[in-house]
Amino acid sequence: MKARTLWLVKDSDKVINWCNCSEPVAGRFPQADCPWCGCGWLLSCAFCRKCFTFGRFEWFDESVESLARRLATAARGPRVDDEDVAEMAEFMTWAAEGFAAGDRVVVIDYQLFRVDEEGPFEFAGAYAHHTLDALPQVRELTEPGTLDATLGNPDYWVERELPDE
Ligand SMILES: [Zn+2]
Ligand SMILES: [Zn+2]
């Protein structure tokens, strides 16, 4: 049986896109301590590290180890080691769980959501607790300014921040 791996490519240039790679493939979620800047609600390209909004799961004709090595090498360059590759493969397997080829997704606070999923969305992410009627990235398509008022606003996150454990 040929090894195949389900993983994320860029679906479109809509809303925010800074990646112009010919084969844009998502890397690890870029989220840091400033999720409002976009790192908490954008995907990023493993090759150029620039962000984009909409991803799509596709089959790659290679094993998860092989794809993880390519993506980890793109991220870390010649310093990449087996541990980096193993961590990337683990992350990819975790993130793809429950999704199918063709699923279009956005990320919010380290969780992926299908763009056609019906709200409301209530969940605790890595940083905050969210209650959203709709996915702000999707609503932005028809109501520009939605992101500035929600995920792009530091107050949105700080008001909903999870208590320290
Ligand atoms: Zn940030
Ligand atoms: Zn790129």
Where does residue 107 fall: left (phi above 0), alpha (psi -120 to 50 degrees), or beta otherwise?
Answer: beta
Q: Are 67 and 14 in contact (CB under 8 A)?
A: no
Residue-level pLDDT, tens digit, the chain, 165 residues = 568 999 999 999 999 999 999 999 999 999 999 999 999 999 999 999 999 999 999 999 999 999 999 999 998 888 899 999 999 999 999 999 999 999 999 999 999 999 999 999 999 999 999 999 999 999 999 999 999 999 999 999 999 999 986
For the chain, the domains span 5-107, 118-159
Please give the radius of gyration of the chain, using alpha carbons only, rounded to the nearest integer.
16
Around ion ligand 1, which residues have CB less than 5 A away?
32, 34, 37, 39
Looking at all shown ligands, the one closest to residue 18's CA atom is 2
Around ion ligand 2, which residues have CB less than 5 A away?
19, 21, 24, 45, 47-48
Q: pTM value?
A: 0.94
